[in-house]
Structure 1
């Protein structure tokens, strides 16, 4: 099932996306289905079977909307945690001049960075080297604390797409990554969450990014250094993962920093990330007006 957070006539709904239409679970069963995907995930053991039943029965016309008529929001607008894994593809390590890590390299983004499908990525005033990174993101489905690798997948609700936008000049100037990774709009996410039963093998999905129609990144999640169970188990030994937490699993080679000449995002650029069985997340770039005038 592909679930999306949408607005219809300024009202929040949870939609099931099927091709070019969205079926509002909120309309079908508004008294039992929350309008927030995070709240839905928190009660997914009871609500997901209900959603499947409602869709299986066939939707009334008043619950079906063309995708073009709805606004798609970030699936999780205010997660408790946005956890990212760096240097998790060997070829990406090589293009950055870094050795493959012995254990997952972890950093965080904050909720201010989240934007949705077709939203703008804004270049901040203090950076001239803003980069793109296509990533598969894991959506945690239930509380996970000190879980083993063998049981880790039981805590996954599904998957989405994240673009780990990075201000490289700030990232490397600071010597740690927080400021360069979590500026406003630096975590485009969506457009849907695909439940794990429909996503297929998360370790064998094609992943690519196009910039202005040109393929820049083209790989497969089979090339991850650390697998999803390894990452979840590793994190859960020291922090409790909660429903709606997002874990971005790392980016493949082809980022702007690794190219000769380097490619930095600029005003008017259009990015599209496609991950097999999930969909396409598209965003445009908005240059800083103050910087341009200066």
Structure 2
């Protein structure tokens, strides 16, 4: 199932996506009689989704996707955790050895952004970069979980662009401010539930800038695999329902390239992960 958050006729809602149509929250209530909550987080993680999913055949999917603005699927996750240097090909292009434990940065939820929205960057940033990543959505809270049980906590997946200001990153010698600007984390376009992705470690992933391929890889190139990521992180911090874990980017970013072509005002970024969906965003520099 694909579940998204939308703005339709000026009103925020959420619902299921199928064949370029949406069954909105309002339609779900009308057709099933189940009084699902206003919050998408409550719907997904407090039992309502499991109650509604068996009623899916009753839904008409009456709203065209083209009539909706697609929002970031989860607006207020407890945590947004991003991994660094977790792809063998990316680490190799940086002359690094991938770390055996997750190297992470926590970014604020105000970075989250939807597809077809602008990435808004202050003009003092001179080296703006992209990173296509597969993001995990945690559906069951856990602490100190074993790898063999870790996948049971994964509710679903989405695409994630971990936008980074490389000059800020070099200046600060860490990632927090460089990745923490508002709108710097386009994600979605919706959540694809884990039952639709039997092998998340074999998904093609690409980035195009103005139609030119910049990244072309596969989640098979992840160094620390998803069960280990969840297990290792849970030994550091309690993972909560709705947490977003973005699992790292493959080769092809501009970081430390001698002839780097960083993002400019008006650049169009297209990111796609097989079976998950596509993100399309435009870069806008502002004073």
TM-score, scaled to structure 1: 0.92
**Distance (whole Å) between structure 1 residues aligned to residue 219 and residue 132 of structure 2:** 11
- Equivalent residues in 2 for 1:256-275, closer than 5 Å: 256-257=254-255, 259-275=257-273
**Distance (whole Å) between structure 1 residues aligned to residue 106 and residue 94 of structure 2:** 20
Residue number in structure 1 paired with 2:51: 50
Residue number in structure 1 paired with 2:154: 156
Residue number in structure 2 paired with 1:170: 168
Q: Please give the secondary structure, in 1, of the residue aligned with 2:240.
A: coil
Q: Please give the secondary structure, in 2, of the residue aligned with 1:273.
A: strand
Decide whether the 8 Å contact of 1:117 with 1:283 is kept in 2: yes
Decide whether the 8 Å contact of 2:23 with 2:59 is kept in 1: no
TM-score, scaled to structure 2: 0.95
Decide which moves more: 117-126 or 159-168: 117-126
- Equivalent residues in 2 for 1:236-247, closer than 5 Å: 236-247=234-245
Residue number in structure 2 paired with 1:134: 132
Residue number in structure 2 paired with 1:7: 7
Decide whether the 8 Å contact of 1:26 with 1:34 is kept in 2: no
Report deviation, 1:258: 5.0
Cα distance change, pair 109–187 in 1 and its aligned pair in 2 (3 A): same
Structure 2 residue 87 is the aligned partner of structure 1 residue 86? no
Report deviation, 1:203: 0.6
Decide which moves more: 9-18 or 269-278: 9-18
Decide which moves more: 46-55 or 140-149: 46-55
Q: Please give the secondary structure, in 2, of the residue aligned with 1:139.
A: strand
Alpha carbon RMSD of aligned pairs, Å?
1.5
Residue number in structure 1 paired with 2:73: 75
**Distance (whole Å) between structure 2 residues aligned to residue 52 and residue 241 of structure 1:** 25
Q: Please give the secondary structure, in 1, of the residue aligned with 2:122.
A: coil
Decide which moves more: 126-135 or 93-102: 93-102
Report deviation, 1:260: 4.5
Structure 2 residue 36 is the aligned partner of structure 1 residue 38? no
Decide which moves more: 8-17 or 29-38: 29-38
**Distance (whole Å) between structure 2 residues aligned to residue 214 and residue 200 of structure 1:** 30
Gaps (5+ residues) in structure 1?
none
Residue number in structure 2 paired with 1:114: 112
Decide whether the 8 Å contact of 2:207 with 2:270 is kept in 1: yes
Report deviation, 1:79: 0.9
Q: 2:253 aligns with which of 252, 255, 258?
A: 255
Q: Please give the secondary structure, in 2, of the residue aligned with 1:150.
A: helix
**Distance (whole Å) between structure 1 residues aligned to residue 208 and residue 160 of structure 2:** 14
Report deviation, 1:259: 4.1
Residue number in structure 2 paired with 1:205: 203
